[in-house]
Amino acid sequence: MERSLLRPEDIIARAAEVLRENDMGGWTRASPTLYPHQWSWDSAFIAIGLAHLDTGRAAAEITSLLDHQWENGKIPHIVFNPEAPPESYFPGPEHWASAADGPEAPTGPAMTSGLCQPPVHAIAAMRILQVAEARGEGVAETREFLEEAYPKLLAWHRYLATARDPEESGLVTIYHPWESGTDNSPRWTPALERVEVGEIPHYERADLGHVPDPEERPTGYEYDRFIWLVEVIKRTGCDDDVLYEKCPFLAKDVLASAILVRANEALLEMAEVVGAPEVHRSTVSAWIERGHKGLEERWDPDLGLCADYDLRAGEPLAARTIAGFAPLIAGGGKPDQLRGLLRVLHSSDFAGYPDLRWPLPPSTSPDESGFLPRNYWRGPVWPVMNWLLWWSLEDSGERKRAARLKDYSLAQLSDGSFGEYYEPFTGEALGSDDQSWTAAVALDWLADEEGSKSQ
Ligand code: DGY
Query: How confident is the model over 199-248, as pLDDT tens digits?
Result: 998 999 999 999 999 999 999 999 999 999 999 999 999 999 999 999 99
Share of the chain above pLDDT 70, in %: 98
Q: Is the CB of 178 under 6 A from ligand 1?
A: yes
- State the catalytic residue, choosing from 183, 222, 239, 368: 183
- Residue 5 burial by CB count (10 A; 0-12/13-18/19+): exposed, middle or buried? exposed
Q: What is the DSSP letter of 233?
A: H
Atom of ligand 1 at shortest range from CA of 78: 7
- Cis check: omega of the bond before 383, within 30 degrees of 0: no
Averaged pLDDT, 167-196 = 98
Whether the predicted pLDDT of 108 surpasses 80: no
Instruction: For residue 171, give every residue at least 6 positions away whose Cβ sits within 8 Å of its Cβ, in sequence order, or none.
Output: 165, 252, 253, 254, 257, 291, 294, 295, 298, 309
204 CA distance to ligand 1 centroid (A)? 14
* pLDDT band per the 50, 70, 90 thresholds, residue 3: low
Atom of ligand 1 at shortest range from CA of 217: 3
pLDDT in tens, 142-158: 999 999 999 999 999 99
Which residue has the CA at smallest separation from atom 4 of ligand 1?
Answer: 178
Distance of alpha carbon 251 from alpha carbon 248, whole angstroms: 10
Task: Evaluate whether 65 touches 119 at the Cβ level (below 8 Å).
Answer: no
Atom of ligand 1 at shortest range from CA of 113: 7
Helix (H, G, I), strand (E, B) or coil at 422: strand
449 CA distance to ligand 1 centroid (A)? 32
Whether the predicted pLDDT of 99 surpasses 90: no
3-state helix, strand, coil in the chain (%, to 5): 55, 5, 40
Whether the predicted pLDDT of 91 surpasses 70: yes
Whether the predicted pLDDT of 109 surpasses 70: no
pLDDT in tens, 272-290: 999 999 999 999 999 999 9
Asked if 444 is an active-site residue, the reply is: no
Whether the predicted pLDDT of 168 surpasses 80: yes
pLDDT in tens, 300-344: 999 999 999 999 999 999 999 999 999 999 998 889 999 999 999
